[in-house]
């Protein structure tokens, strides 16, 4: 599983590097035709990983309830995301993957129920969940790459 987690880590760090040249105002801008912004997509990657891996397994997430609720599926930006919250997102993009790897190695995902994603992918284990995440994150990095040309 370390390889799949690294497949998520590298693009997460690369997109953060790419976004260094953007202001908070740009990162908060919701481009025409979109219902969210670059910062929401970054936060959503964290919240979705927490939901897919931990909530689905009946385990507590490693983010606050307010963070999870702000970025969970079907949410949208509810206000301006300041520097402190952006710093939290950046930290969580790395730290949640470190925690996931530790928790996987510790074998805590013993009660993982089968379910089907909105994309029709059947997930029956934590291994399936971790294998699915790079696809999901790739979608959101694609949105970010498109949005950065519009902000």
Task: Return per-residue pLDDT of the chain as tens, 151 residues.
Answer: 678 898 899 999 999 999 999 999 999 999 999 999 999 999 999 999 999 999 999 999 999 999 999 999 999 999 999 999 999 999 999 999 999 999 999 999 999 999 999 999 999 999 999 999 999 999 999 999 999 999 9
Write the DSSP symbol of residue 33: T
d(CA 107, CA 73): 26
d(CA 43, CA 19): 14
> pTM to 2 decimals?
0.94
Q: How many domains does the chain have?
A: 1
CATH code of the domain covering residue 98: 1.20.120.450
Domain extent at residue 64 = 2-147
Closest CA to 145 of 35, 2, 25, 42: 42
């Amino acid at each position: 599983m370390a390889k799949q987690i690294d497949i998520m880590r590298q693009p997460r760090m690369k997109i953060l590097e790419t976004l260094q040249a953007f202001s908070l105002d740009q990162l908060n801008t919701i481009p025409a035709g979109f219902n969210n912004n670059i910062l929401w997509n970054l936060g959503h990657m964290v919240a979705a990983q927490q939901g897919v891996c931990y909530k689905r397994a009946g385990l507590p997430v490693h983010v606050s309830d307010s963070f999870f609720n702000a970025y969970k599926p079907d949410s949208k930006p509810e206000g301006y995301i300041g520097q402190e919250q952006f710093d939290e997102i950046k930290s969580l993009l790395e730290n949640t993957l470190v925690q996931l790897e530790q928790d996987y190695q510790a074998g805590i995902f013993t009660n993982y129920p089968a379910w089907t994603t909105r994309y029709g992918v059947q997930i029956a284990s934590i291994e399936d969940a971790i294998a699915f995440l790079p696809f999901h994150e790739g979608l959101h990095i694609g949105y970010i790459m498109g949005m950065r040309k519009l902000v």
